[in-house]
Amino acid sequence: MISISSNTPARNGCACAACRRFIAGNRMIRNRIAFVHHYNPYIAGAPIRTAEMFFGRQQLLERILRTLPNNSLMVYGPRRIGKTSVQHQLLRLLQEREDPVYSFVPVFVDLQGVPEEFFFAHVIEELREQLGAEIAAAVPKPVARAGYGPREFANDLRKLIGLLQAQRRGAWAANKRIRLVLLLDEVDELNRYSERTNQHLRSIFMKSFSENLVAVLTGSNIRKQWESESSPWYNFFEQVALPLLTREETLRLIHEPVKGFFKFDPDAAEKIWLLSEGKPFLVQKFCVRLVNRAIEARRRVIPASEVEAIRLEVGEETA
């Protein structure tokens, strides 16, 4: 099982845990935080970036981390099932990971709305921005985004990987192999690109930089059928379906974030589980609304009747 921990040092983490226990045991403080400061930790609409609000998918994360040293993966699923949140968890886990062989360098790239003619420029700009000042200084920003193609990208990527290797010489990761991990979100955009662009991208992964470059792609579907007999993405990555939350995972997401501040009645939690069908976005949406209503009513226990009261409202917003 992966240990989902924060970046806080152990000593500070212990102190924070002690603070939480103190707060949980002090009714006056709990009431002030809950009702005066409107305590509501749930997130609906935005991806989950922190470990504290990410529940479930542990086996999937473990599988991806085991696979990445040697292969790329495509994680697919319907809209709002949590694909982008998984990418942000991978970004954090790979940054923290201490592997005996590889030094992982993850970079998150959102492809939503990126036109084909700007694709390679967009990716190199994200690499420059996320990998630090030294990389940004050595790899110039594309002057004409539309004129920046696969050849320019390959040249800059080669320079960038060389710099990453040089940075680690003499450091703790000196004897490790660089693995640049592109976390490509919304890869359905590639379906609208030409077969030629897709072939160029595959060639970069499979031929030019196969020793140092892997990817985790997330989207609903990636096109397999093209005009030519062989698809650019045939046999390129392992495909993994993103599962729904289990009942146990859903109940943890409902109860744990507000433990000590608010309490969901067991029937209320069960109703959220049934209505959400294990979709994390819907679970969070229900919980955001229910906690807000509890704050307004200055009520710490959330009954099943409240879930029923907002059922149609949540359904209309997510339709």
Evaluate whether 24 touches 259 at the Cβ level (below 8 Å): yes
Question: Do the strands 213-219 and 177-185 form a parallel or antiparallel pair, or are they unpaired?
Answer: parallel
% pLDDT > 90, the chain? 66
* Per-residue tokens: 274: 């049934």
Evaluate whether 219 touches 78 at the Cβ level (below 8 Å): no
* Per-residue tokens: 56: 């479930």
Q: What is the pLDDT of residues 225-264, one digit of tens each?
A: 655 556 777 778 888 999 999 999 999 999 999 998 899 9
- H or E stretch covering 241: strand 237-241
CA angle 25, 27, 32 (to 5 degrees): 125
- What's the whole-model pTM score? 0.84
Q: What is the pLDDT of residues 291-307, one digit of tens each?
A: 999 999 999 999 999 99
Domains plus CATH for the chain?
10-45+245-318 (no CATH), 58-241 (3.40.50.300)
Contacts of range 117-120, beta carbons closer than 8 Å, 24 or more positions apart: 117/145, 117/146, 118/145, 118/146, 119/193, 119/197, 119/201, 120/148, 120/149, 120/150, 120/152, 120/153
Q: What is the pLDDT of residues 125-148, one digit of tens each?
A: 999 999 999 999 999 999 888 899
Quick check: 2 pLDDT over 50?
no
- Per-residue pLDDT at 231: 73
Quick check: 270 pLDDT over 90?
yes
- Per-residue pLDDT at 279: 94
